Structure 1
Amino acid sequence: MIELEGLTKRYGEKVAVNNLTFAVRPGIVTGFLGPNGAGKSTTMRMILGLDRPTAGDVRIDGTHYDRLKDPLTSIGALLEAKGVHPGRSAYHHLLCLAQSNGIPARRVHEVLDTVGLSAVARKKAKGFSLGMGQRLGIAAALLGDPRILMFDEPVNGLDPEGIHWIRTLMKSLAAQGRTVFVSSHLMSEMALTADHLVVIGQGRLLADTSMAEFIQRNSRSYVRVRSPERERLLDVLHGAGITAVENGNGTLEVDGSKAEHIGELAARHQLVLHELSPQQASLEEAFMRLTAESVEYHAHSDTPASAERWGDGWKEGRA
């Protein structure tokens, strides 16, 4: 288990992490979400003792990271896949980590096989693609067979097969009773992987809840109904005290009523329905709604006036 209590980090006047308190529990995959600049990487670095908190406390199974004996056997982490000496082979990189943490050398071969790098184990890391580097970083996290695993953007550079593989791996690790903490900006993948979510914005905790509850709380749920007898359907719904809104393409949107109830009501009045479907926002939509006020960097679709001027000037100069 990872436990944070009042964790705070300041850089001068900038508060990167602001009084975070939450726990990452074993047996489930916990997703760590937040906009760019929210403080996710800083939080993960403080968990691993790479940054010292300004205030608060963080413990790994009740112990500070710097007091762990052979820390790779307690917590494995992927924070920066490029943190490998480019002239060192994948095998020797992992062997060095193993020897420094009292891990048997045979474990190096096991994790290389797990991540699919056995065939390139003796090749230097400088020749690795981004995806291969990610796999090597994951192998390092798994090396000590730890009870706690932490991954920052683990799918970066992976192809579809690799993304499916890491998703399955994280789920299987959690199913073994391990603590799995993963940060990602790829919402579609997080929706398929995480059971629980911790969401931060501008360094503050915004949510600490299950995936299902997070989407339910931060999105609109409604039922979409379509019938060739739209006017009569509207009358029936109105008579039952149900408000339906026409959305302009022949369908109705109903809030506050379940699809089963609407279907039974239509059946009693012998109404033909061509569509009856519950609608709920995606994780991405719910995330965008919750964090809208916490986004630090806003991009705009309009072309900046300065760019237009430079473009015109450039064209004029060439004319």
Structure 2
Amino acid sequence: MIHARELTKRYGRATVVDGLSFEVRPGQVTGFLGPNGAGKSTTMRMALGLDRPSAGEILVDGRPCRQLKEPLRTIGALLEAKAFHSGRTARGHLRYLAQSNRIPESRVSEVLRLTGLEAVADKRAGTFSLGMGQRLGIAAALLGDPAIVLLDEPVNGLDPEGVRWIRDLMKKLAAEGRTVFVSSHLMSEMALTAEHLIVIGRGRLLADTSVTRFIEANSRTFVRIRTPEPERMRETLSRAGIPVLTGSDGALEAVGARAAVIGELVSAHGLTVHEVSTQSASLEDAFMEFTAGAVEYRASGEVPVRRQGTEGGA
């Protein structure tokens, strides 16, 4: 388990993590979400003892990570791709880590096989692609057979097969009773992988809940209706007290209604419909809605136009 209590990190006058408290429990994949600049990487670094908290604490298996004599046996982590000496082979890199934590050398071959790196085990890691570097980082994280696995953006650089592999691996680790804590900007992957979410913004806790509850609480569900009689349909729904919006493609959106109710109204009033389907928001939609006020960096969406007579113009 990972347990943060009033965790705070300041750099000068800037507070990057602000009184953060949460628990990451075993037996499930917990997603760690937040906009850029939210403090996710800093929190993970403090969990691993790489940065010291300004106040509060974050415990790994009941202790600060700095107190673990052989940390790889308790917590395995991937914070960035290619965090290895480029001149070492993949096998050599893992052997070095194994020796530093008294891990049997047989485990090196096991994780090379597990991550699909057996064929390149004796090649210099500096020649690896980003995806292969990610696999080597994951191999290092799993080297000590740890009860806790912490991964920061683990799918970066992986091809579709690799993305599915790491997704299945995280689920398997959780099913074995391990604590799996993963940060990612890919909401589609989090929706497929995580069961629980910890969401932060500007260093503060915004949500600590299940994926299902998070989506339900931060999105609207509606019934999409395509019909050649939109005005009659709108009038019928309005008389039934059902709010109606018009989608970008002209389809009607009956907000908060159930498809069965819509079907009964259609039948009772002899309306023609081409589609009646329930639409639910994605995790990405819910996340964007929920964190709108906590985004540190936001693009304007405007493209500068070079005008005649300005610098660089004719």
TM-score, scaled relative to structure 1: 0.92
- Structure 2 counterpart of 1:242: 242
Q: CA offset at residue 253 of structure 1?
A: 1.3
208-217 or 296-305, which deviates more: 296-305
Q: Whole-Å Cα distance in 1 between the matches of residues 165 and 177 of structure 2?
A: 19
Q: CA offset at residue 64 of structure 1?
A: 1.6
Amino acid at match of 2:35: P
Q: What's the Cα RMSD here?
A: 2.0
- Trace 1:2-41 onto structure 2 (pairs within 5 A): 2-41=2-41
Q: What percentage of aligned pairs have identical amino acids?
A: 63
- Trace 1:199-218 onto structure 2 (pairs within 5 A): 199-218=199-218
- Trace 1:56-205 onto structure 2 (pairs within 5 A): 56-205=56-205
Instruction: For residues 174-223 of structure 1, give each alpha carbon's deviation from its aligned partner in whole angstroms, at most 9, with x where no partner exists.
Output: 11111111111112222211111111111011111111111121122211
195-204 or 253-262, which deviates more: 253-262
Q: Whole-Å Cα distance in 1 between the matches of residues 311 and 228 of structure 2?
A: 58
Q: Whole-Å Cα distance in 2 between the matches of residues 314 and 225 of structure 1?
A: 52
Q: CA offset at residue 248 of structure 1?
A: 7.0
Q: CA offset at residue 111 of structure 1?
A: 0.2
Q: Whole-Å Cα distance in 2 between the matches of residues 248 and 119 of structure 1?
A: 51
Instruction: In structure 1, list runs of 5 or more residues that go unmatched.
Output: none
Instruction: For residues 38-64 of structure 1, give each alpha carbon's deviation from its aligned partner in whole angstroms, at most 9, with x where no partner exists.
Output: 100000000001000011111112122
- Which secondary structure does the structure 2 equivalent of 1:23 belong to? strand
- Which secondary structure does the structure 2 equivalent of 1:62 belong to? coil
Q: CA offset at residue 312 of structure 1?
A: 5.3
Instruction: For residues 117-158 of structure 1, give each alpha carbon's deviation from its aligned partner in whole angstroms, at most 9, with x where no partner exists.
Output: 111111111111111110000000000111110100111111
249-258 or 142-151, which deviates more: 249-258
Amino acid at match of 1:191: A
202-211 or 284-293, which deviates more: 284-293
276 and 110 in structure 1: CA distance in 2 versus 1, 3 angstrom threshold: same
The number of aligned residues is: 314
310 and 29 in structure 1: CA distance in 2 versus 1, 3 angstrom threshold: farther
Amino acid at match of 2:126: K
37 and 243 in structure 1: CA distance in 2 versus 1, 3 angstrom threshold: closer
Amino acid at match of 2:185: H
Instruction: In structure 2, list runs of 5 or more residues that go unmatched.
Output: none
- Which secondary structure does the structure 2 equivalent of 1:245 belong to? strand
- Which secondary structure does the structure 2 equivalent of 1:273 belong to? coil
- Structure 2 counterpart of 1:223: 223
194-203 or 261-270, which deviates more: 261-270
